[in-house]
Structure 1
């Protein structure tokens, strides 16, 4: 058995994946014979593994140098890639760099030279200018969702970064959108294309498209009805404006629907908390802007509700990419208000929603989220938290859900019916000899 096969088997086992899909296999083979690749594939198709697996074959594990750089348009996507890479269990050091938290934390991480750096253009450019990143040995560059980075105006930062990589040899660009021009500063000369876009990505068989008419310009009552129909199944509600996101979230809470809101003006800890509570089942509804339309890897989302109609077909496609991922099915619902019309690209495919005669409030979620005021930088990991909750809190394995550990804090899902008693048991206890603040997230 070759080293590549052994390594790949190990990686797939760690990711709980039986085998690569056709796109990932083609990408792995193409990276072995081409230095420049443009990979076009739909959201949710597995692009992250398609570029991480071949990247590992180019990393020298015996070299204490930075060898690869992945640039992404958002901190959420950077954190997602870092999480996938760490789950692969390769032992290769990775560091994530993004705005919204202390630069000094990243500077300390960069001192212990990582082989791979994942980050957003502004923060990576800042580290290069401060000479925190040693660029002389970086031979591989991946621009994930490069079209979005260009849309968000990161041209200057990206040009500076690429111009700072004297040893750059391998370039991989990925996108879920076709026909985006690649700027000259990327330095492509003869790229190999892998195009897995069908030309109509919103027509996945696993995704059904529906619409409902709202009698009011303010669509909140119609949204409430839809979420009652959805019951306890997870749903993301997309709005075009931050103010509407918060208004809808507050309205739904008053009506008895547990939810979290999420947008770009929030503090990083609040964004982390909102996503964590949605991922772990503390809430089943996330109200958000298009910030959540790309890069968020949240499994088993059943409904995408377009509270505001998307401005373009591309936005529609990316929003819908949060559901019907891989083999799962999902439903996208557009709410059409007075004076609005179904977009042309949905008119033939969309079917009217059939609301049941009787609507009931969804059941309350069975999980709560516990905030723990210590994290990775305090040498606390998931195993420590599980042990603490089990031993000091008296919780059984089935009472402990998803645990997410950040740099300086962590979140743990605990069965709501057991959390009160557990809090009493461990309110004076310590984790790894450290007194740590704990709160139930409201």
Structure 2
């Protein structure tokens, strides 16, 4: 694997310590558990070892990446595409047309990313040949357990008889790793205490006496200027209120919440990136 062109494509000058440790730990084919905060670069920490395992000769899905959400699946897919590896990648998740996914799997990608429920569906319907899968990634495994994907993940892993390497990532320490993962003699890379998710982050408090804080928010947005900005709200109704304000002020923006259709959310994410 030639690393520099990939870093150039991702506009990254160098790997962080956690990513370097992950690559080093996987070189001999060891199973690994990566413990690091959200936003610390875990995606690249497993995608680079995955890339190292891929071969041009294989005609099937070589790596399966299981994630707890469709948004995370799309994010990983985008990063892999930006790496410019020449290998095909596809996503499968709930809310995405099964027919489209089935058509994509007829010409199997080297890397398949998906939520456990949808991947289990494709396996049960024999939509791809699992015998080619040699690398398994369980990303944000702690959340996948929390969301109740245990049964699907157990079924999926039970079908993967050609696995040579397993990579688990988690943003929280795990007292016990479930036996169904098949992790044996794994190496643990723990950066939960050492890596800050956003070392350059500055926290500032804006005080206002106004009951309705929309005007204050708008002033703040104007001061931020053209920088990319995320506004988190407690309720979708608040999202819509802020959106109405920004429309009145002729400010370009997008919204994202659970009340939107799946394709609308995907478009909003892609435009934001």
Aligned pairs, number: 273
Q: Which residue of 2 aligns with 1:128?
A: 123
Q: Which residue of 2 aligns with 1:236?
A: 230
Q: Which residue of 2 aligns with 1:422?
A: none
Shift of 1:111: 1.0
Q: Which has the higher helix share?
A: 2
Cα gap change, 1:273 to 1:60, in 2 (>3 Å): closer
Superposed CA RMSD in Å reads: 2.4
Question: Which of residues 105, 111, 124 in structure 2 aligns to 1:110?
Answer: 105
Q: Which residue of 1 aligns with 2:46?
A: 51
TM normalised by structure 1 equals 0.56
Kept in 1, the 8 Å contact 2:27–2:49? The answer is yes
Comparing 74-83 with 253-262, which one deviates more in the overlay? 253-262
In 1, the alpha carbon distance for the partners of 2:56 and 2:136 equals 17
- The higher relative CO (CA closer than 8 Å, separation ≥ 6) is in 2
In 1, the alpha carbon distance for the partners of 2:86 and 2:141 equals 27
Cα gap change, 1:210 to 1:25, in 2 (>3 Å): same
Question: Which of residues 151, 154, 170 in structure 1 aligns to 2:149?
Answer: 154
Question: Which of residues 219, 223, 241 in structure 2 aligns to 1:225?
Answer: 219
Question: Which of residues 131, 135, 147 in structure 2 aligns to 1:140?
Answer: 135
Cα gap change, 1:277 to 1:168, in 2 (>3 Å): closer
In 2, the alpha carbon distance for the partners of 1:8 and 1:46 equals 16
In 1, the alpha carbon distance for the partners of 2:210 and 2:90 equals 48
Q: Is residue 2:88 matched to residue 1:93?
A: yes
Shift of 1:180: 6.4
In 2, the alpha carbon distance for the partners of 1:247 and 1:154 equals 35
Q: Which has the higher strand share?
A: 1
Deviations 1:226-279 (A, max 9, x none): 223323322211123223222332234335543221013312331233234434
Cα gap change, 1:134 to 1:200, in 2 (>3 Å): closer
Q: Is residue 2:11 matched to residue 1:19?
A: no
Q: Is residue 2:73 matched to residue 1:78?
A: yes
In 2, the alpha carbon distance for the partners of 1:33 and 1:217 equals 60
Q: Which residue of 2 aligns with 1:254?
A: 248
Q: Which residue of 2 aligns with 1:65?
A: 60
Shift of 1:154: 1.9
In 2, the alpha carbon distance for the partners of 1:71 and 1:36 equals 16
Kept in 1, the 8 Å contact 2:36–2:195? The answer is no
Question: Which of residues 178, 182, 190 in structure 2 aligns to 1:183?
Answer: 178
Cα gap change, 1:231 to 1:269, in 2 (>3 Å): same
In 2, the alpha carbon distance for the partners of 1:195 and 1:88 equals 25
Kept in 1, the 8 Å contact 2:58–2:132? The answer is no
Shift of 1:80: 2.1
TM normalised by structure 2 equals 0.88
In 1, the alpha carbon distance for the partners of 2:217 and 2:206 equals 10
In 2, the alpha carbon distance for the partners of 1:213 and 1:182 equals 45
4+ aligned runs moved over 6 Å, structure 1? none
In 1, the alpha carbon distance for the partners of 2:97 and 2:247 equals 33
